[in-house]
Amino acid sequence: MTDRFVRRKVLLLEGKRLVVTGVLTDDSIAFQAARIAQDQGAEVVLTGFGRAMRLTERTAKRLPITPDVLELDINEPSHMDAVVADLEKRWGAVDGAVHAIAYAPEDALGGNFLNTPADSAATAFLTSAFSFKTLAAGLRPLMAKAGGGSLVALDFDNTQAWPLYDWMGVAKAALQAVTRYLARDLGADNIRANAVSAGPLGTVAAKSIPHFQLFEREWAVRAPLGWDVTDATPVGEMVALLLSDWTRMTSGEVVHVDGGFHAIAAGSEPS
């Protein structure tokens, strides 16, 4: 076969300029999303802040191409302004972003729902749900310059109440609502907003949830496809798909990557 008939493989995210928040360790969904995005041709910038900044910078070196890490405390407006200024100078426009930011104080988790103070519940909401709006509003002008793009939030489905998850569950339910309202308000700029609801994974974030093994046990008996709490790759692949032009007419969705758990009312003990 001559070179004239050889077709170059087109990568899913070739030429995309993406911002990925929330990378702490290489077992995280955000890390896998960044890795797959790079493998599929995207240029990636990570964000981190505070004492975790060094951890993000170390983990960034484990990606196929070591990306820059920008400082972003999502609740600090000056940080968002500085990130936008850097991205505008660096790229001129942005094609997409991954929101992997969540936090709830200790007294908002672990079965303390009725006793959680308002300030702690508000912190969980501000950092875990409202922050998606903060990221979207900040990046909106740069995504509009790109002719549109895709925002993807990492979610844990809370259409039902979970044991011990408490106000983080409320915040995640709010995150889904924020996703829908962003889809409504950003559609005119050809900007999509979606969320990926992942099954439980043994990440740093999961370790902050008391008795995380309860979630793992439930997935073992209810997920028809099975579920590996050590493998974030399937979730990262869905994030990459939603960042791509292959989902250019999908917005306001919550896509489950949980082994089918969400669709099954009850399971049976593994044989």
Please report where in the chains the tokens 């609801």 appear, as a residue.
Answer: 197
Cα 79 to chain centroid distance, Å, stands at 19
Q: Which of 16, 44, 15 is nearest to 30 (CA)?
A: 44
- The yes-or-no answer on residue 172 being catalytic is yes
Contact 17, 94 (CB under 8 A): yes
CA-CA-CA-CA torsion sign (96, 41, 258, 169): negative
- The yes-or-no answer on residue 165 being catalytic is yes
Catalytic residue among 9, 145, 165, 181: 165
Alpha helix stretches (DSSP H) within 146-232: 166-186, 204-207, 213-222
Integer Cα distance of 45 and 128 in angstroms: 21
Dihedral angle computed from the Cα positions of residues 64, 66, 67 and 73, in that order, rounded to the nearest 10 degrees: 110
Catalytic residue among 9, 103, 145, 172: 172
Q: Give the three-class secondary structure for 195.
A: strand
Q: Which residues of 163-199 are buried (b: 16+ CB within 10 A; e: fewer)?
A: ebbbbbbbbbbbbbebbbebbeebeebebbbbbbbbb
Report the catalytic residues: 165, 172
